[in-house]
Amino acid sequence: MSNSTQTPVESNAKYRTDTASDGQTEPLTAGVGEDVVLELDDLQKSYSSEPVVEGLSLSVREGEILTLLGPSGCGKTTTLRLIAGLERPNGGAVRLNGRSVSGSTFVPPEERGVGVVFQEFALFPHLTARENIAFGLKDRPKDEVDQRVDELLELVDLAGQGDSYPDQLSGGQQQRVALARSLAPEPEILLLDEPFSNLDVDLRVEMREEVRQIIKETGVTAISVTHDQEEALSISDRVAVMNDGEIEQVGDPEGVFQHPESRFVAAFLGYASFIPGYVSGDVVETDLGTVPRDQIHGLAPEYDRTRVDLLVRPDDVSVRRLDCEGVEACGNVVARRYLGPTFLYEVELDTGESVQCMHNHDENIPDSGPVGLELDADHELAWFPREQRPEDDSRYSD
């Protein structure tokens, strides 16, 4: 609860209150607002008694792009399939525009008005791009269908490719046809299942922008699913981080990245080190030196004289010198990883804690030996109560 001034408790949705005013976090279950298109209410799904989705609640507002972000096996794809009606939940409800579609009654996928872009696109190989796009436009006069298909081909910039079969199209073009096909019947909500995972890295970045643009142009409400944090942060209006079948945090991308509410979210989005500290008056004493209390985001008075962990990103720490003379924190470089333009160093502090820091590739820091470190973050730091620290830290290493 680093982002609120209220009593931090174990990261748990039901204690969170509405702090949406600061644009960072929102309640997981909104009241029935006018603009809510989709509501998931305590959704449950398990396969052979193995729970995959556990009590998941979420509201999606009209016209937004929300991304379910989480590691593989966290239940995000299952959630998407539950929304589409491709799976039946074991408990809870799905409401589309206030109408219950899963729960007491089950509305089959073809009557839900959802569009889905599948992971491997699922283009019908025996039909041309045009025929694929027209597939969902049945029972309409032919010229109306033709007009709509032309419109969509135009929208996805494939006007000349209508008569190609899927295997004659490149990955990016297939992606566009899949998007056009799902948008053709004007769905109330568009679902995208790992839409970019099938594309080359270069193309992926390009298509991300393009898909976001097309979705925004049509104004459709969209839910996307991914395990790629960069993708989630770049295409979404809001991100919902999932772990073990539950949502850990929902918010706009910056808010979730800068003010993670749980250690899981902190570690899943980018590199994270947790530095132990002691709250003492106006400062927090840490292994990396003292940090002014007002640089800690929303540290409540109840936490005076307690142990906390500060979330430190690699760009918040730097190596000051190559020995331990006159620095507050001293440690040994134990590993160096080349990330392209930068090096990521793992430094074991004399106190035994380990911290990561990042430096430009041209700064000459040896990959072993003593270093003097300094915390030089120019933004507020997130914190977690000490007792929250799990026994096994390994799952949080990037």
Partner 1 sequence: MATEHRTSADDDADEETQLPLGVSIAAAAVSAAVLLPILWLVKTGLDVGFSEAIALLTRPTTLEVFVNTTVLVTLTTAACVLIGVPLAYLTVRTDLPFRRFWTIVVSLPLVIPSYVGAFAFVSAFGPQGSFQRLLAPLGVEKIPEIYGLEGSILILTLYTYPYVYITARASLKSMDTTLIDAARTLEHDRWETFKRVTLPQIRPAVAAGALLSGLYALADFGTPSIMRYDVFTRVIFVEFGTFGRDTATLLSLQLVAVTLFILWLEARVRGEERTTAGGRSRGVVSLGKWRYLAMGFAALVAGLALVVPVVILLSWLGTASTAVNQSLAFQWSYVTNSVVVAAAAAAVAVVAGLPVAYLSARYDGLLPTAFERVSYIGYAVPGVVLGLALVFFGSQYATPIYQTLYLLVFAYVIRFLPQSVGSLRASFLSVDPALPEAARTLGRTSVGAFRYVTLPLVAPGLFGGAALVFLTTMKELPATLLLRPSGFTTLVTHIWTAYESGYFGQAAVPALVLLFVSGLSMLVILRQEGYDVK
Pick between residue 228 and residue 252 the one whose CB is nearest to partner 1: 228
Q: What is the distance between the alpha carbons of residues 380 and 294, in angstroms, rounded to a whole number?
A: 8
Q: Shortest gap between Cβ of 153 and partner 1 (angstroms)?
A: 17
Phi-psi region of 139 (alpha: psi -120 to 50; beta: other; left: phi over 0): left
* Burial (Cβ within 10 Å: 0-12, 13-18, ≥19) of residue 20: middle
**Stretch touching partner 1 by CB under 8 A, among 81-89, 336-344, 370-378, 383-391:** 81-89
344-377 exposure pattern, b = at least 16 Cβ within 10 A, e = fewer: bbbbebeeebbbbbbbeeeeebeeeebbbbbbeb
Instruction: Answer yes or no whether residue 106 interacts with partner 1 by CB under 8 A.
Output: no
Which residue, 129 or 272, has its beta carbon nearer to partner 1?
Answer: 129
The minimum distance between CB 87 and partner 1, in angstroms, equals 6
Which among 170, 191, 270 is positioned nearest to 228, based on CA atoms? Answer: 270
DSSP helix, strand, coil percent of the chain (3-state; round to 5):
30, 35, 40
Residue 148 lies near partner 1 (rule: CB under 8 A): no
- CA distance linking residue 194 with residue 115, whole number of Å: 14
Stretch that binds partner 1, among 54-62, 84-92, 145-153, 355-363 (CB under 8 A): 84-92
In the complex with partner 1, which residue's Cβ is closer, 223 or 266? 223
Cα–Cα distance for residue pair 164/127, rounded to 1 Å = 9
Any contact of residue 144 with partner 1 (CB under 8 A)?
Answer: no
Q: What type of residue sits at position 199?
A: L
With a CB cutoff of 8 Å and minimum separation 6, the contacts of 113 are 96, 185, 187, 188, 189
Q: For residue 354, what are the β-bridge partners?
A: 348
Q: 3-class SS at 144?
A: helix
Which one of residues 26, 39, 87, 287 is an interface residue with partner 1 (CB under 8 A)? 87
Taking the least distance from each CB to partner 1, the nearer of 116 and 272 is 116
Task: Indicate which single residue of 73, 366, 369, 390 sits in contact with partner 1 (rule: CB under 8 A).
Answer: 73
Cβ atoms within 10 Å of 170's Cβ, excluding its own = 12
Question: Which is nearest to 41 in space by CA: 90, 81, 87, 95?
Answer: 95
Are 122 and 93 within 8 A, CB to CB? no
Out of 110, 202, 391, 392, the only residue in the binding site for partner 1 (CB under 8 A) is 110
Q: Whole-number minimum distance, CB 225 to partner 1, in Å? A: 10
Query: For residue 320, with 0-12 CB atoms within 10 Å meaning exposed, 13-18 middle and 19 or more buried, which class applies?
Result: middle
When the beta carbons of 68 and 299 are compared against partner 1, the nearer one is: 68
Residue with smaller CB distance to partner 1, 76 or 204 = 76
Pick the stretch among 181-189, 268-276, 337-345, 390-398 that binds partner 1 (CB under 8 A): 181-189
Stretch that binds partner 1, among 54-62, 74-82, 157-165, 168-176 (CB under 8 A): 74-82
Binding mask 12-51 for partner 1 (x = CB under 8 A): -----------------------------------xx---
| In the complex, least distance from residue 76 CB atom to partner 1, rounded to whole angstroms | 8
Q: How far apart are alpha carbons 373 and 347 in whole angstroms? A: 9
The strand pairing partners of 381, in sequence order, are: 296
Tell which one of 114, 158, 284, 371 touches partner 1 (CB under 8 A): 114
Minimum CB separation of residue 296 from partner 1 in Å reads: 38
Out of 1, 58, 84, 381, the only residue in the binding site for partner 1 (CB under 8 A) is 84
Distance CA 267, CA 256 (A): 12
Sites of contact with partner 1 (CB under 8 A):
47-48, 52, 72-73, 75, 77-78, 81, 84-87, 108-112, 114-116, 118-120, 122, 124-126, 135-136, 138, 181-182, 184-185, 193
